[in-house]
C-alpha cells in the first residue's frame, strides 16, 4: 500500500459508505493513526482490535496497525459487546479502535487501561483525524517485523464455547494474495467489490489483492445484505470487475434482486467460497455470463485458500456437486483415510493442508510450527486428482456460508439457569436452514423461545442465535452415551412430514 | 402515527409464517434483527407480504436495518409508504 501511495497517490484506493480515499489519502490517515498507536506503545508483536462498522476509515485503521508492526483483530460489528469483550481479553489487546458508544459498552475495569481511539470522537474542537498528529510526522519504523510475524487474528466459532482466534502471519496472507493476484491477472484499473465483513477471511482477497495491483476496493455496507436488490444496485452503480462472496449472496441476488437481468456488467471474475454453490443456480450464471471467469475457492480460515476450481464453459450437470478442485497458493493438499493412508481416486478422507497459507496457530495455543493442518473436512478424491467436498467430521456446520460450531451454541444455552442440557442441530437446508435447539429444562414452564433468543443474542453472533426450540424430557443418547444427533434429525424430519400432512 | 392494525397484521404474519406458529410473545418493540427472528431470507417474504397486504411497493433503498428493527418501525415504514389496511 505504501509503494502504491508513492507511485500513484491520486489513484482511487477505497470507496466506502463513509467516503472514498485515494492511495495518498489512505496512506496519510494510516500514518496518523499509526503515530497515535506508536505513541501509546503499540509495536511489533502487539494486537490491536478494530470494532468498527465497515468503512474506509476501518481500512485505514488496519493499515495503521500493520505499519506499527502489530497485528489487527477485526471484530463483528453486529456482535454483542460480551463477545467483543471476550476477544479483547483473550488476545490481550494493546489498543482498541472503535466508536465512543461501542467503546463505552466494552471497556470494563477487568480490561484495565486499554487505550481507545474513537473514530467519531472530537478533541479540542477538531475532528479526530486532525487531532491525531501533524501530517509530516512519521511513525517509528516497525522494527524487524518479518514474514512470520502476526498480521491479523480472525475469531471463529469454537467447540469449547469460546471463540477461537486464528492467528495469520504476513507470509500466510501473502502466499494467498500473491497467488490470487497472479491467477486473476489483477490490474490497476480493476474494481474489487468487498462483500464479506472484515472479520470474515473472504475480505482479505478484496482488500489486499486490490492494493497489490493498485486497484480500488468498493465496500458494500454491512446493512446491504438484507436487500438483494440493493446488492444488485451496488453492482450496477459501482461496476466492479471482481466479485467475491459466499454463494448464498449470489443466489439471493439472482433469485430476488434481478442480478441476471442487469444489461451489461464489466465483471470479469466472480469468485465464491464458504459453502457449496447450488449447481442449478451456477448453470444460470454461466449461461447468462459466458465470458466471466467463475472460480470456486476452498479453505478453512486456518489455511486461507488452499484449493480452487475454475468452472469451465459448461457448468457441471445437475446432481453433480461442484468440485473444490486442486491445490493452489503453493500448498500441498491430500485426503487422509481413517487408517492414515493417502486416499486414492474415488476414496474419501480428511483434507490435510501443508504449506505457506497454513496459519501460525490458534491464539493462546502452541503454534503449529510448520506442521500440516487437518481441516476436519471430508473430501472425495476425483478421477482427475481434484477434490470434492463431502462433509464435516465434527459438529461444525456452515449456515449460509457462516461457520458455526454447534458446541459453542450448546455451551451458551446451558449457561441459562433454566436449561439443563442442550443439543443443537440444523433443520432444513440451503437458504431455509434453521438452528433447532433440543433442550432439557428443569423449569416449569420451560424458558420461552424469546427468552432463549435474548440469552443467545447477548453472547453469540447473530447468525448463531437459535431459531426454534424443542423441550424434551431427556436427550436421546447413543450406546456410548453421546447425544444421538441422528435421532434428533429424524425427529425433525418426522415433524416436517407431520406439518406437510396438516397443510 | 403508527396504525395498530398494521402492527397486528405484521405480528400475525411473522408469528404464523416466519415462526411457523411458535408463540413467543412478540411486542411492538421486540428487536427482530438482533434476535435473529428476521434474516435476509425472511425479510424478503415479509416484504412480499407487506406489498400484497398493504398495497405498497417497498423500494430497495428503504430496506435498511433501521426500518426493520421491530414491529413498530416496520409499521412506520408501511405507513410512510402510504400503506392502507382497509
DSSP string, A28-52: HHHHHHHHHHHHTT--TT-EEEE--
Query: What's the CA gap between A352 and A370, in Å, rounded?
Result: 13
pLDDT in tens, B2-48: 888 999 999 999 999 888 887 788 999 999 999 999 988 889 899 99
Q: Provide the number of CB pairs (under 8 Å) joining chain A to chain B.
A: 63
CB-based contacts of A261, cutoff 8 Å, min separation 6 = none
Q: Work out the average pLDDT over A57-64.
A: 96
Q: Which helix (H) or strand (E) holds A304?
A: none
Q: What is the CB-side half-sphere exposure of residue B62 using CA atoms within 13 A?
A: 14
Residue of A nearest to B30 (CA): A450
**pTM of the entire structure?**
0.90
Q: Count structural domains, chain B.
A: 1
B21–chain A Cβ distance below 8 A for any pair: no
In a domain, B60, yes or no: yes
Nearest CA-CA partner of A470 in A492, A451, A498: A492
Question: Where is average pLDDT lowest: A101-110, A189-198, A218-227, A312-321?
Answer: A312-321
Q: How far apart are CA A151 and CA A62, in angstroms?
A: 10
A positions 235-274 inside 8 Å of B (CB): 252, 256
A9 in Cβ contact with A22 (< 8 Å):
yes
Grid coordinates of A290: 459466458
Any B CB within 8 A of A145 CB: no
Residue B29: CA atoms inside 13 Å, Cβ hemisphere, count?
Answer: 0
Q: In sequence order, what are the residues at sequence separation of 6 or more whose Cβ sits closer than 8 angstroms to the Cβ of residue B48?
A: none
The answer on pLDDT for A392 being more than 60 is yes
Cα–Cα distance for residue pair A16/A32, rounded to 1 Å = 19
A contacts of B34 (beta carbons < 8 Å): 457, 462
Residue B72 within a domain:
yes
Query: Å from B53 to nearest chain A CA?
Result: 19
Say how many residues make up chain B: 86
DSSP secondary structure code for residue A170 in this structure: H
Could you report the per-residue pLDDT of A31-57, keeping only the tens digit for each? 999 999 999 999 999 999 999 999 999
Contact A227 B26 (CB under 8 A): no
Q: In chain B, which residues have their Cβ closer than 8 Å to the Cβ of A462?
A: 33-34, 36
pLDDT at A273 over 70: yes
What is the largest distance, in Å, between two alpha-carbon atoms of chain A?
73
Query: Hey, are the CB atoms on A230 and B60 less than 8 Å from each other?
Result: yes
The answer to whether position B86 is within a domain reads: no
pLDDT tier at A124, thresholds 50, 70, 90: low
Residue of B nearest to A251 (CA): B41
- On whether residue B34 sits in a domain, the answer given is yes
Query: Which residue in A256, A450, A456 is closest to B30 by CB distance?
Result: A450
Peptide bond into A445 cis (omega under 30): yes
Structure confidence at residue A177 (pLDDT): 97
Per CB-CB distance under 8 Å, the chain A contacts of B46 are none
Contact indicator for A217, A15 with CB cutoff of 8 Å:
yes
Residue with cell 504449506: A355
C-alpha cell at B56: 405498497
* pLDDT tens column, A134-153: 666 677 666 556 788 999 99
pLDDT at A111 over 80: no
Q: B35 and A228 in contact by Cβ < 8 A?
A: no
With CB atoms and an 8 Å threshold, state whether A453 touches B36.
yes
Give the pLDDT mean for A373-385: 95
Asked whether the beta carbons of residue B35 and residue A468 sit closer than 8 angstroms, the reply is no
Give the pLDDT band (50/70/90) at residue B84.
Answer: low
Q: What is the pLDDT of residues A138-196, one digit of tens each?
A: 776 665 567 889 999 999 987 777 889 999 999 999 999 999 999 999 999 999 999 99
Report chain A's mean pLDDT, rounded to a whole number. Answer: 91
| pLDDT at site A122 | 67
pLDDT classification of A214: cutoffs 50, 70, 90: very high
Domain that holds residue B13: 4-19+27-80
Cα angle A392-A397-A399, degrees, rounded to a multiple of 5: 140
Cβ of A449: how many Cβ atoms within 10 Å?
Answer: 20
Arithmetic mean of pLDDT, A70-88: 94
Cell (9 digits) for B77 = 415504514
* Half-sphere exposure of residue B53: CA atoms within 13 angstroms, side-chain side: 19
What's B14's domain CATH number? 1.10.1200.10
Closest residue in B to A448 (Cα) is B24
Q: Do B24 and A448 touch (CB under 8 A)?
A: yes
Instruction: Check residue A56 and give its pLDDT.
Output: 96
Flag the least confident range among A70-79, A357-366, B76-85.
B76-85
Chain B contact for A131, CB < 8 A? Answer: no
Task: Provide the strand spans (E) within A226-383.
Answer: 242-245, 269-272, 293-298, 307-311, 326-327, 332-336, 348-354, 361-362, 373-381
Selected residue of B28, B32, B40 to mutate for chain A interface (largest A Cβ count, 10 A): B40
| CB-CB under 8 Å, B37 with A233 | no
Q: Does any CB of chain B come closer than 8 Å to the CB of residue A81?
A: no
pLDDT of residue A453: 95
Task: Judge whether B85 lies within some domain.
Answer: no
Cα gap A52→A494, rounded to integer Å: 44
- Mutate which of B20, B22, B39, B43 to disrupt the A interface (most A C-beta within 10 Å)? B39
A502 touches chain B (CB under 8 A): no
Question: Residue A302 in 3-state DSSP?
Answer: helix
- Nearest residue in chain B measured CA to CA from A258: B60
Collect all residues of chain B within an 8 Å Cβ-Cβ radius of residue A433. Answer: none
Give B66's contacts in chain A (Cβ within 8 Å).
223
- CB proximity B60 to A under 8 Å: yes
Q: Is B86 on the interface with A (CB under 8 A)?
A: no
- Which of A424, A450, A468 has the most B C-beta neighbours within 10 Å, making it the best mutation to test the interface with B? A450
Q: Closest approach of chain B CAs to the CA of A87, in angstroms?
A: 20
Contact at CB, B25 and A448, closer than 8 angstroms? yes
DSSP conformational letter for A221: P
Q: How are the residues of chain A apportioned to helix, strand and coil, as percentages rounded to the nearest 5?
A: 35, 25, 40
Interchain contact B65–A (C-beta under 8 A)? yes
Amino acid at each position: 500500500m505504501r509503494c502504491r501511495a508513492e507511485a500513484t497517490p491520486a489513484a482511487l484506493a477505497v470507496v466506502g459508505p463513509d467516503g472514498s480515499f485515494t492511495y495518498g489519502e489512505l496512506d496519510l490517515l494510516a500514518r496518523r493513526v499509526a503515530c497515535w498507536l506508536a505513541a501509546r506503545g503499540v509495536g511489533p508483536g502487539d494486537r490491536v482490535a478494530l470494532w468498527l462498522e465497515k468503512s474506509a476509515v476501518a481500512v485505514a485503521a488496519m493499515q495503521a496497525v500493520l505499519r506499527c508492526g502489530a497485528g489487527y483483530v477485526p471484530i463483528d460489528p453486529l456482535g454483542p459487546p460480551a463477545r467483543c469483550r471476550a476477544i479483547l481479553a483473550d488476545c490481550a489487546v494493546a489498543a482498541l479502535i472503535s466508536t465512543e458508544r461501542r467503546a463505552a459498552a466494552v471497556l470494563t475495569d477487568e480490561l484495565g487501561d486499554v487505550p481507545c481511539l474513537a473514530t467519531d470522537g472530537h478533541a479540542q474542537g477538531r475532528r479526530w483525524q486532525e487531532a491525531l498528529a501533524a501530517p509530516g510526522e512519521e511513525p517509528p519504523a516497525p522494527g524487524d517485523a518479518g514474514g512470520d510475524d502476526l498480521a491479523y487474528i480472525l475469531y471463529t466459532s469454537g467447540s469449547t464455547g469460546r471463540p477461537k482466534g486464528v492467528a495469520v502471519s504476513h507470509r500466510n496472507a501473502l502466499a494467498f494474495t500473491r497467488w490470487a493476484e497472479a491467477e486473476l491477472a489483477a490490474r490497476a484499473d480493476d474494481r474489487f467489490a468487498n462483500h464479506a465483513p472484515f472479520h470474515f477471511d473472504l475480505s482479505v482477497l478484496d482488500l489486499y489483492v486490490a492494493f497489490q495491483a493498485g486497484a480500488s476496493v468498493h465496500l458494500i455496507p454491512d446493512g446491504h445484505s438484507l436487500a438483494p436488490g440493493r446488492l444488485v444496485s451496488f453492482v450496477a452503480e459501482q461496476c466492479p470487475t471482481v466479485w467475491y462472496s459466499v454463494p448464498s449472496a449470489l443466489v439471493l441476488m439472482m433469485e430476488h434482486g434481478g442480478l441476471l437481468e442487469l444489461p451489461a456488467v464489466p465483471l470479469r471474475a466472480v469468485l465464491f467460497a464458504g459453502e457449496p454453490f447450488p449447481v442449478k443456480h451456477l448453470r444460470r450464471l454461466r449461461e447468462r455470463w459466458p465470458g466471466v471467469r467463475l472460480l470456486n475457492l476452498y479453505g478453512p480460515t486456518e489455511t486461507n485458500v488452499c484449493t480452487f476450481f475454475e468452472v469451465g464453459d459448461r457448468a457441471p450437470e445437475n446432481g453433480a456437486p461442484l468440485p473444490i478442485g486442486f491445490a493452489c497458493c503453493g500448498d500441498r493438499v491430500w485426503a487422509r483415510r481413517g487408517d492414515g493412508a493417502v486416499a486414492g481416486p474415488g476414496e474419501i478422507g480428511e483434507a490435510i493442508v501443508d504449506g505457506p497459507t497454513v496459519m501460525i496457530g490458534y491464539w493462546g495455543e502452541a503454534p503449529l510450527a510448520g506442521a500440516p493442518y487437518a481441516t476436519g473436512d471430508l473430501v472425495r478424491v476425483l478421477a482427475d486428482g481434484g477434490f470434492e467436498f463431502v462433509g464435516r467430521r465434527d459438529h461444525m456446520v456452515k449456515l449460509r456460508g457462516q461457520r458455526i460450531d454447534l458446541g459453542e451454541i450448546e455451551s451458551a444455552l446451558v449457561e441459562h439457569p433454566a436449561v439443563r442440557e442442550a443439543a443443537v442441530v440444523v433443520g432444513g437446508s440451503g437458504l431455509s436452514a434453521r438452528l433447532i435447539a433440543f433442550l432439557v429444562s428443569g423449569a416449569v414452564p420451560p424458558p420461552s423461545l424469546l427468552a432463549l433468543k435474548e440469552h443467545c443474542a447477548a453472547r453469540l453472533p447473530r447468525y448463531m442465535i437459535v431459531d426454534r426450540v424443542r423441550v424434551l424430557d431427556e436427550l436421546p443418547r447413543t450406546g456410548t452415551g453421546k447425544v444421538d444427533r441422528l435421532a434428533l434429525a429424524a425427529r425433525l424430519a418426522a415433524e416436517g412430514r407431520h406439518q406437510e400432512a396438516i397443510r | 402515527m403508527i396504525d395498530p392494525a398494521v402492527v397486528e397484521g405484521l405480528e400475525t404474519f411473522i408469528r404464523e409464517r416466519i415462526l411457523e406458529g411458535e408463540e413467543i410473545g412478540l411486542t411492538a418493540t421486540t428487536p427482530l434483527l438482533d434476535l435473529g427472528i428476521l434474516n435476509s431470507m425472511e425479510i424478503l417474504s415479509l416484504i412480499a407480504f407487506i406489498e400484497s397486504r398493504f398495497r405498497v411497493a417497498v423500494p430497495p433503498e428503504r430496506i435498511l436495518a433501521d426500518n426493520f428493527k421491530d414491529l413498530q418501525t416496520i409499521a412506520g415504514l408501511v405507513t410512510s409508504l402510504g400503506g392502507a389496511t382497509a
